[in-house]
Structure 1
Amino acid sequence: MTDTRKPYNGGRRGLVLAFDVGTTFSGVSYAILEPGEVPKIHGVTRFPGQEHVAGNSKIPTIMYYDLEGHMRAAGAEADTPSIHDLAEDEGWMKAELFKLRLRPKTMKLNMNGMRLPPLPHGRSAVDIFGDFLGYLFRCTRAFIIDTHANGKPLWNAVESHLQLVLSHPNGWEGAQQTKMRRAAVRGGLIPDTDEGRSRIRFVTEGEASLHACVLNGLANEMLQNPSGHGFIVADAGGGTLDISSYVVRDTSPLVMEEVAPPDCVFAGSVFVSRRAREFLEDKLRDSKYGKPDSLDHITRRFDETTKRLFRDRKELQYIQFGSPLDKDLSVGIRHGQLKLTGNEVAALFEPSIEAAVHSIRRQIETAKGAVKSVWLVGGFAASTWLFTQLQERLASDGLVVSRPDSQTSKAVADGAIGFYCDHHVSARMSKHMYGVEFLREFDERNSDHLSRRDRMCELPSGPKLLADAFDCILRRSAKVKESTVFTRKYCTEVTSLSTLSVFEVEIWCYRGIDNSVPQWIKRGSEDFSTLCVVQADLSPLASSAQPKQGRGGRTYWTIVFSVEIHFGLTEFKARIKWVDNVSFLFAAQTAACV
């Protein structure tokens, strides 16, 4: 669908790289930006350790660290027998599933009794993420230089202004984006400067997958006859299932809008594997094959074969893991293979399938009938069992579930480039409520106010006010276009102008299920959290602020300002705006996410 893409209108040659660091597998795509030409998407299809596999665009998201905490092997190289032997001899630690450690605290992770692997000595999750990004970046640089006829001059010409797109699950927010930026600095992708950090853009995996669907033709029928019907993009990956709902608003140019806040659940293929590991541990407990090393090997073979091929709960299933001499009839092992019933394997998939169906139905309800079809993409979409079960269970909802014939495991990386170049989504839906704390005037006749007397304060001008009141600036499920700005005006009173130099406002996020705006911020509650802190230097106002006399003869100054929220893109931004001598000034956009 390159006919939907416009020529690059930049004034100089550029290069945009998209990194899809998945829970279990990762990939990179890129586009060379030539002024006046339509960008073409390329994939990095050659990584160290995979030279023998033509066109392989994904590598395992794993690394090995030595006892001092230095990275020694990564990706496909780290998954070779020679590295396994060396790691065992040298005592190296394997780093895997580290992406899950970056998740928001509000996203609960059920590991079915198993814990995430420990981190290497002296390394945080951001450090590990940064090391892996750095590895992907070096592989990408080598691939571009070696693959393109003018590779070296090309890289030298664009290296100082590379544009980067990092994809992340739908449920990740500003705090996770901040961590990913820090990881990109650690990995050497960008310098630790404002200019360097500005070269990174973020896109949700759901929206990246939408652009991939457009690229590979899955959306052709919808684009030819949009008729106002919406569709769901279900990106089933290793860790998360990212659900996003859209409608086509225009086809020339292609414009789409979100019609429901995107969802994200931990229901990816890795959790099927985790359940399999737990099941096998219980089944083989009294067998000589129940030792940890044997269980790890059998689980790995389940991942590579049985899990991928399973399609019928009525048929017996086998995990081929050993030689013809491996035998233990008491647990169903004969000729080096473990026999399982179809129902046993289906049970390992069931929680993930139930979570997917529940999330999709929630999207249908929120979209109010606009959704008519589901596009299943991502690495887990290759599972025939997942695909057929979604088809069967969602048929009663009038949904048609389809998946592309082509491989979609690298859909997110390609789609992230499509997001950068094409920008098809013009409006998104806010997932939560966003606002600030303000002071509410105390009413002694209100019992709720009386119960909060310990939070009462008095302004210099006299009024008695209660802290912790919540003022909503952006409500949940609001349609937000990229140009839309949500703003509210506030005022504060200060008794010292010196405080203006370090003025800051907290942006609060309310995640509760109640759609009514809460009256008060409940500190310590999971429903409320500080999304970011906007800092501004308001000291220029000191020269024009007029002093006033308050109660008891105290001098104070009234400061008027506005808080603006920009939520039209996939990255949340907030800023403070004020007026000084009839000129608008803006605070530095330091959304210091926490």
Structure 2
Amino acid sequence: MASKPILLGLKDKKVKQTVAESANGPASSQLKETSNSALPRPKRKYTAPTPERAAQLQEAREEKRRKVAEAKSRQWIIVGLDFGVTFTGIAYIATNVGSRDVQVIRRWSGGGRQTDLLDKSPSRYAYASENKNLTEDAWGYQVQPGMKSYSWFKLLLDGDTNAAEYDDPLLRQSAGQGMTDLPPGKSAKDLAADYLEQIYKHTHSYLGEVIGKDKLSMVDEPEAAAVDAIKSTLEGFPKHNLFEAGQGIIIVDLGGGTVDLVSYKILKLEPLQLEELCVGIGAKAGSTCVDRALHKLMRDRYGKAFSSLPAMKIGPGSKFMEDFETIKRDFDDNDPTQTFQVHLKMRDLRKQDQNVVQYDFEEDEIMLTCADMRNLFQVAVEMTLQLILQQVNLIKKKKAGTIKTLIVCGGLGSSPYIKTKLDEFCEERFAGKMQVVRPVRAWASICRGAALSGLEASPILSRRSRYHYGFVIHKTFDDDEHDEEDAFDDPVYGKRAKNQMKWFVKKDEKLRPGAKKEHSCTYTIPPNVHSYTGHERFYLCMEESAPPRFGSDVQPGGEIIINVTSTVLNKERKRLKDEGFDVKKKPIPLDVTLSFKIGGEKGILEVAATSGKTKLGDAQMNYEANSECKGAWSEDIKAEA
């Protein structure tokens, strides 16, 4: 006969909980509500340490002070990494210099001398097992046209998430056209890990042996862009007064695969202090959106003569796409009569075909007009403008402030054409009351800002939660509130309603750095269990209003792993035994506090689990792309659904 699961209950503030003391109770305990605590916690007595123990404690304190002093005097190198859909950038800065001295790695292996002058390397990877001319895997500029390679794989890392409102409609069509392929037997996560390992090795090789033990922290890309843009602009143009305290700004990060917007209020310029005004928005509509539009134009214009060509001829990393990348980056629309040539031989194209236009058979070149280029940029431009307008309207609706500046960065943000369209938009829509600022090295803003963010404390004094965070629970059934399909009978508490949500953080909630949310729980552990590992699921919701019930708009977020060690249980059993509790027959009630820290120093959601003042063995967040709900939390008990 299978044993029943250990039950976990969220403590109710109105009633105290205890283990049912019935001798005929089940082997794995149920929680019972009562007005009095059956297990009072005794006051702990202070015992002075022995002379030997006191000496050990003093030595430990002195050793800790020595290590702290040594760490403060040591010089560190802060490395900022911007892993993008199309390109990756790396910046670094030493802790003993000022923000003006942030450097960008501009020397890359492969591709010849021209790679010594580029701020970024292509996010591209080729496996030796798939390319006969390779003895080892190639990455970045090492990947040459004609190789079997993989690009845009960052777009696939969140393949299980729902499409955003302004995502490029051509994105999903690009799958199967060689633009978002994956190697056999590998996931997007595996491919990204292989690529980032090479980036890590290159960084170590470039900076030499000065890099010691790594400490990893995360920073949002728009936050990194804000840090670099404001600091570099203030230092480069100190007399122009482009920024001032109280001013509202929107960061527009036009990257390779996405467009991301975040709005801030400048609280202080020195030191820089920012407050996020509302939840940021974005869409998969960056530079690759223009590339997808090019492919659609080629298919519409040349049919199978183009679409039948292999990915190594027309996909990311091909000579065809590299030539177009140069044209795309420099396009400014200043001369409407200008044409652009892209070399591509299409053997199935017939010169006698009267439908073939804008193709030079003598030079094997496709000719693109300025009108063509404007059309290729159209979706990316329109989506960006819609996102800006949506963010401005949201800020107005919340009466959060007035936006005076757009800071544009990222690869596509470096485009002269994009800058012109944004200038025109701000002039027409906001009567010139909103200015567009682009950092001198907008393409490298993210990695530069990431490095600067590691140099000093984060300038963000408060953020807005991107999601609702919560758990699936079950409650006492209410005919007016719950659906009959969610009803089930509990042997102790009667009719219950499963699939209910308990949200502990709301979307757009203002969060201070290191802000904590706590939940008190109780584990009831059978007497024959000597250690226990708990797995608690948590969920996310992107909707504006969080639903009270679990459904399709609630997405799995991950799993909290909590290890209750034998040391903790033995200590609790001894305490209960001293109070006359029969620890051999009755389950052990263990109070646990889960502390959630959002937006802390590491930039991720952290969790800690404690029992009283005792830290439980391990507690960490495991993020999962497609986890299942194996149980249900309750406000008074936890049981398998």
Flag whether TM exceeds 0.5 (same fold): yes
Q: TM-score, normalised by structure 2?
A: 0.71
Residue equivalent to 2:470: 435
The Cα of 1:477 is off from its aligned counterpart by 0.6
1:485 aligns with 2:516: yes
Q: RMSD in angstroms over aligned alpha carbons?
A: 3.5
Could you tell me which residue of structure 2 aligns to residue 253 of structure 1? 271
Identify the residue that residue 588 of structure 1 maps to in structure 2.
618
1:161-310 equivalent positions in 2, closer than 5 A: 161-162=213-214, 199-217=215-233, 226-285=244-303, 291-292=309-310, 297-306=319-328, 308-310=330-332
Q: Higher helix share goes to which structure?
A: 1
User: What's the secondary structure of 2:149's corresponding residue?
Assistant: strand
In 2, Cα distance between the equivalents of 1:475 and 1:576? 22
Match of 2:559 in 1: 532
The separation in 2 between residues aligned to 1:277 and 1:377, in whole angstroms, is: 25
Asked if 2 retains the 8 angstrom alpha-carbon contact of 1:534 and 1:574, the reply is: no
Q: Secondary structure at the match of 2:620?
A: coil
Is the 8 Å Cα contact of residues 62 and 94 (structure 1) preserved in structure 2? yes
Cα distance per residue 1:314-372 (max 9 Å; x no partner): 5454324379xx99584122464534454433222222122212222222233334322
**Aligned with residue 447 of structure 2, among 413, 417, 424:** 413
Contact map agreement 1:489 1:560 (CA 8 A) in 2 = yes
Give the gaps of 5 or more residues in structure 1. 1-7, 88-92, 146-154, 163-198
SS of 1:243's equivalent? Answer: strand
Report if aligned partners of 1:507, 1:534 keep a CA contact under 8 Å in 2: no
> Structure 1 residues 333, 434: closer, same or farther in 2, change over 3 A?
same
Q: Compare CA radii of gyration and give the structure with the larger one.
A: 2
1:98 equivalent to 2:128? Answer: no
What is the CA–CA distance in structure 1 between the aligned matches of 2:521 and 2:487, rounded to whole Å?
23
Q: Is the 8 A contact 1:548 1:556 kept in 2?
A: no
**1:121 positional shift:** 3.6
Structure 1 residues 566 and 366: alpha-carbon distance in aligned structure 2, compared to 1, 3 A threshold? farther
Paired amino acid for 2:227: H
Distance 1:529 1:313, change over 3 A: farther
- The corresponding residue for 1:74 is 139
1:543-582 pair list within 5 angstroms:
543=573, 544=575, 558-569=589-600, 570-579=603-612
- Given the alignment, which residue of 511, 521, 539 partners 1:508? 539
On the 8 A contact 2:93/2:452 being kept in 1, the answer is no
Q: Which amino acid aligns with 2:194?
A: D
**Secondary structure of the equivalent of 1:202?**
coil
Distance 2:540 2:336 in 1: 48
Percent identical residues: 17
**Runs of 5+ consecutive residues of structure 2 not aligned to the other structure:** 1-69, 625-641
The alignment partner of 2:384 has SS state of helix
The verdict on how the C-alpha distance between 1:294 and 1:284 changes in structure 2, with shifts beyond 3 A counting, is farther
**What is the SS of the residue equivalent to 1:502?**
strand
CA positional deviation for 1:414:
0.9
Instruction: Classify the secondary structure of the residue corresponding to 2:562.
Output: strand
1:473 to 488, 493, 504: 504
| Equivalent in 384, 391, 395 of residue 356 of structure 1 | 384
Match of 1:15 in 2: 77
Give secondary structure in 1 for the equivalent of 2:85: coil
The secondary structure found in structure 2 opposite 1:390 is helix
How many residue pairs align between the two structures? 511
The answer for the alignment partner of 2:358 in structure 1 is 332
Higher relative contact order (CA 8 A, sep 6+): 2
Cα shift readout 1:477-505 (whole Å, capped 9, x = no counterpart): 11111132122334465666739722332
Q: Verify the 8 A CA contact 2:89 2:119 in the aligned structure 1.
A: yes
Query: 1:518 and 2:534 equivalent?
Result: no
1:400 aligns with 2:434: yes
AA aligned to 2:604 is E
Cα displacement (A) at 1:534: 3.7
- In 2, the alpha carbon distance for the partners of 1:397 and 1:231 equals 14
Pairs within 5 Å for 1:1-80? 10-34=72-96, 38=98, 40-50=101-111, 52-53=113-114, 54-67=116-129, 71-79=136-144
* Deviation sequence 1:78-99 (CA, Å, 0-9, x none): 23xxxx46x4xxxxx2121122
Kindly provide the amino acid, as one letter, of the partner of residue 484 in structure 2. L
DSSP 3-state at the match of 2:222? helix
Cα distance per residue 1:171-229 (max 9 Å; x no partner): xxxxxxxxxxxxxxxxxxxxxxxxxxxx2111121111111113321696897752422
Residue among 189, 194, 197 paired with 1:126:
189
CA distance in 2 between partners of 1:240 and 1:288 (Å): 26
Letter in 1 for 2:105: V
User: Residues 387 and 590 from structure 1, CA distance in 2 versus in 1: closer, same or farther, beyond 3 angstroms?
Assistant: same
Tell me the alpha carbon deviations over residues 393-436 of structure 1, each in whole angstroms, 9 at most, x when there is no partner: 34414662424362221111111101111321121110111122
Q: Distance in 2 between matches of 1:353 and 1:374?
A: 15
